[in-house]
Structure 1
Amino acid sequence: MAERREQLIEAALAVASRDGIDAATVRAIAAEAGVSLGVVHYCFQDKDELLRAMAHAITSQNLARSLGDLPEHADLDTVVDGVVDALWTGISESRGPQLLSYELTTSSLRHAELNQVAIEQYRGQWSAAEQVLELIERTAQIGWAIPRSQVARAIVAVIDGYSLAWLVDADGEQARAGLQGFGQFLKTLAVPAALEPDEGDHASVGAPDGATA
């Protein structure tokens, strides 16, 4: 069952990346996978479930590309620069899936019955960004001056903006430079691990006992 679901998700991604989200009908997906319509209906209750699975697959693929092959221990510059380079390489080599990701979001928001797709899509992206931040923390032995969840949301927003602009103007140099610039900003939010504030703690980093921001 799990292997068949993966096969159908890959088929759905192939159809939608090539021809657009509206072309990803059950019949087209079945034909792409070389299975009967009944198999698709057996593996997925409805299109909502299939779209959510597609969004999750895109997020997982982007996460895998972002993590790259980083060393177990490295300084902050090395690890952040490595993550940004791996991230941009992954985006630039997967134009179809990146465009599909935006199509999934807008299609979901236009149809109330599919609204959960966009919600889960972004929850997945925020979670993936937090996993990348955790990797940076462990590798470079640092923490963040603001809650990790806030940094994660900022990362997703910036990636969304530069990726969409690149899809529009195809200017990869500008997109890469912009993401590298954000990487430089991200480094300014890093603090030694011992000074990392607890999630939700809004006290100033390094402030005297009893002092607040």
Structure 2
Amino acid sequence: MPRLADHAQRRRQLTDATRRIISDRGLDAATFRNVAQEAGVSIRLIQYYFGDKRELLNHTLRAVIMDASERFDEELGGLSTDADGSSRVIRILQSLIPDDAVKQQDAVVLLAFHAASVSTQAISAEQTTAPMSALETLLKQELARSRGDVEEDADAIDDARMLSMSVAGMVQAVLAAHISPQGARGLVERLVSMTMAV
């Protein structure tokens, strides 16, 4: 009796191949032909699962975001709710620094999608900014809690946005080897201490 295909596993195989191509050669290189070659499958199989390139890219982006979110939850799972506000915010931001090969690959892929959302209609801005919005929401809650605010005030909102955008710049600097991951973690500590002191 033939084995039934595991569709989720097959989709994962194809989106993983797409991620590798985007990370190594850029978004434009993620053609069905290149993905088929990278994954060791036929072009027809990719068409069966995704239909067209836009759908393949959308699934790939969602896979990267979901994986990053799961990693984020795992890394912060042991963070005590009793920890002081600065420590919690520092740990949240430092977990985003691409300090290993998996995080680096995902950061490159997310940057490629973000650039595409700015320059073309293939990817929507909402798709690429969703992780940043979720981070801002989490930081707003942490800042408000650490300051004893019942509600998130304008300062917490602005500070959360400043912190999230600053760490996004640090991620790019690490990818470009402008600073080391350790250097970025140090900058996170300095930035948070200055923000919390205000």
TM-score, normalising length from structure 2? 0.72
Question: Where does residue 60 of structure 2 map in the other structure?
Answer: 54
Cα offset, 1:121, TM superposition: 1.0
After superposition, the CA RMSD in angstroms is 3.2
Tell me which amino acid in the other structure corresponds to 2:41: V
Structure 2 runs not aligned, ≥5 long: 1-6
Structure 1 runs not aligned, ≥5 long: 190-213
Aligned CA distance change for structure 1 residues 58 and 158 (closer, same or farther; 3 Å)? farther
Aligned CA distance change for structure 1 residues 33 and 178 (closer, same or farther; 3 Å)? same
Question: Where does residue 175 of structure 2 map in the other structure?
Answer: 167
Question: Where does residue 133 of structure 2 map in the other structure?
Answer: 126
Cα pair 1:17 1:100 within 8 Å, conserved: yes
SS of structure 2 residue aligned to 1:83: helix
Q: Is the aligned partner of 1:156 residue 2:164?
A: yes
Inter-partner Cα distance in structure 2 for 1:28 and 1:85: 34
Residue-by-residue CA offset, 1:155-212 (whole Å, 9 max, x unaligned): 43222211122223431144222222333355458xxxxxxxxxxxxxxxxxxxxxxx
Tell me which amino acid in the other structure corresponds to 2:168: D
- State, as a whole percentage, how many aligned pairs show the same letter: 22
Size of the aligned set, in residue pairs, is 184
Deviates more, 1:125-134 or 1:69-78: 125-134
Find the partner of 1:79 among 88, 103, 110: 88
Question: Where does residue 40 of structure 2 map in the other structure?
Answer: 34
Cα pair 2:64 2:110 within 8 Å, conserved: yes
